[in-house]
Structure 1
């Protein structure tokens, strides 16, 4: 775990979202999608009630705020300081949320040292709308890193979007490893080719089967949620 993981594709994802944060990019809300996400938020509150949660790639903190409604504490990480600035602006109580700038693909050895005294060990890892931006190699690396840092039997919750015809940018290409990519414009006009996957249930089970057990998947029109426990 001491070797630094480097991936040009995940670097591109980080730069794309850093531009969005710097530009204070606000996307037009889709009422149907927002209704799906509100329902998901209610379910997440039940999943993490009373638990310490590690959130990876927390972005602007939307899901951190939702998790903090019922969790005992949320340790929220993001690689982009601009995103964390937006998240901190939510002014969530310090006894409920700890913000930290960190690369989720290179989790620091002292990952949990910044938690307030008396906080219980991490029981749930939450990843919202980032898993689908990881290549297959990056996903495998992340699963191994999580098992090394937080141990087995920890609950893993993935929330990500589904492809919606007429709304989602089309897949531009597929590489030799089966990773799919979209072409999107950054906030400053730069053109990005980003990894983006819309996995089926069977593909998700296959991807996580060696690292997790008790895999359950729920789908809405615009998103899906997977829960499992790390082996």
Structure 2
């Protein structure tokens, strides 16, 4: 009997293999990730960073080397425990449980970073999410997003598209449980069209497997 598809993305990411195993061990994408890491260092050195949806701390580990401070957040306490297990310097990195779609955090920040999260934000919610980030970071605050480009592989197969244009994939865990995951892919022109009214000084770096956006909040 086929199990019904679960739509709880938070539950899926709490149980699946971590980011390092599933996403980073991609020989075709490693060079691009190295380039992205260099650009992140250029952008976020000495910044006070709010990191959204940090997961197991893959990106946090990098940010801790050069950011002035990092508040790494995630909706999943289990994933935050994995991130904390990296034993990053406490004088730089702090952790907090919060929903990236409506972050409830305290502190003074100059930048917001999210790796592989924007694709999980529904198209119709993006303006409101940016507005919430702006309330925390402030006008002219730096926004840096990194996410997947759509490459023709079995991992990028789209299962359905809803009326708003959001696309979904089916992912399975080793126990056979299947999850429907919101995963929107964007071209450079689509990102500019959708986010142009909300951001300024936007720059988009496009790679075969990934894209990176840097901008200032209007």
Q: Is TM-score (shorter-chain normalized) higher than 0.5? A: yes
Q: How do 1:22-171 and structure 2 match up within 5 A?
A: 26-27=21-22, 29-108=25-104, 111-113=105-107, 121-171=108-158
| Distance in 1, Cα, partners of 2:137 & 2:183 | 26
The Cα offsets for residues 177-216 of structure 1, whole Å up to 9 and x where unpaired, read as: 1111111113432211111111111110121122111111
2:101–2:129 contact (8 Å) kept in structure 1: yes
Local SS of the residue matching 1:145: helix
Whether contact under 8 Å (2:109, 2:136) holds in the other structure is no
Unaligned runs of 5+ in 2: 1-6
User: Any unmatched runs of 5+ in structure 1?
Assistant: 1-10, 114-120
Secondary structure of residue in 2 paired with 1:171? coil
Which of 167, 176, 186 is matched with 1:199 structurally?
186
1:25 CA drift (Å): 8.9
- TM-score of the superposed pair, with normalisation by structure 1: 0.85
The Cα offsets for residues 55-110 of structure 1, whole Å up to 9 and x where unpaired, read as 000001010111111111111000001111110111000011011111112222xx
CA distance in 1, matches of 2:21, 2:146: 20
TM-score normalised by structure 2 residue count = 0.90
Please name the residue that 1:179 is paired with.
166
Q: Does 1:221 find its partner at 2:208?
A: yes
1:165 to partner: Cα distance: 1.8
Distance 2:101 2:22 in 1: 27
